[in-house]
Chain A
Amino acid sequence: GQQVQQSPTSLVLQEGENAELQCNFSTSLNSMQWFYQRPGGSLISVFYNPSGTKQSGRLTSTTVIKERRSSLHISSSQITDSGTYLCASTGGLSGKLTFGEGTQVTVIS
């Protein structure tokens, strides 16, 4: 089945720094999503990005399907960006998601 590798495992940023999180997939993917998990555990969908580049505020996601990878770029990081970022691939309409291990981001002042 699909395996999802995320890097780095953790990241510490000075407030205002940029960061790039990587996600690699072992097999071809139909689509993928980036999630943000709050310290309390709840999951928020950040991007549904099957291909190409999408931007939302200071976050930009780029997915290159033929290279089986996706990245999440955080610009001008803020303390409130701290948390765990997970990527996951979807099996089309089946709704099955395979998650990566996540990248724990800590932004300090």
Chain B
Amino acid sequence: GALVYQYPRRTICKSGTSMRMECQAVGFQATSVAWYRQSPQKTFELIALSTVNSAIKYEQNFTQEKFPISHPNLSFSSMTVLNAYLEDRGLYLCGASFQDTQYFGPGTRLLVL
């Protein structure tokens, strides 16, 4: 079956520091990988979408300078939150697409102190 792993599941970082999170698709090759954030009391917002053979597209309010993404192959992606502050806390989900269905990992929950 199609599975998506995310690491770490939970992390705490000091304000102003950076942290990297990883996403691994297992059992399939993802045609695209999307990163979402769910801030407290909010729904999911798309941060960026990385599609095979295309540049990574960031949504409004999210930039490569703040959330650099690496997508070296069809099954792995990583995203870094640079200079994390309180407003960056939340649940970060990775969604890997295969045949029109998006499979999600369990998320990385980021706490910022």
Contact = CB atoms under 8 A, between A and B. Distances in A.
Contacts, number: 62
A45 B102 contact: yes
B61 interface: no
Contacts of B80: none
Nearest to B93: A43
A92 interface: yes
Interface stretch (A15-23, A62-70, A75-83, A96-104): A96-104
Contact of B91 (A41, A44, A48, A94): A41
Contact of B46 (A35, A97, A102): A97
A33 interface: yes
Given A42-B106, A95-B95, A33 B101 contact: yes
B34 A95 contact: yes
Interface residues of A, number: 24
A97 B95 contact: yes
A105 interface: no
Interface size class, chain B = 20 to 34
Nearest to A38: B106
A90 B95 CA distance: 12
26 contacts: A31-B100, A41-B38, A41-B109, A42-B104, A42-B107, A43-B104, A43-B107, A44-B104, A45-B102, A45-B103, A48-B100, A48-B101, A86-B43, A86-B44, A93-B100, A94-B49, A95-B31, A95-B49, A95-B95, A95-B97, A95-B102, A96-B34, A97-B36, A97-B102, A99-B45, A102-B43
Given A35-B104, A97-B102, 14 more contacts: A41-B38, A41-B91, A41-B109, A42-B106, A43-B104, A44-B104, A48-B100, A86-B43, A94-B32, A94-B49, A94-B51, A95-B32, A95-B102, A99-B45
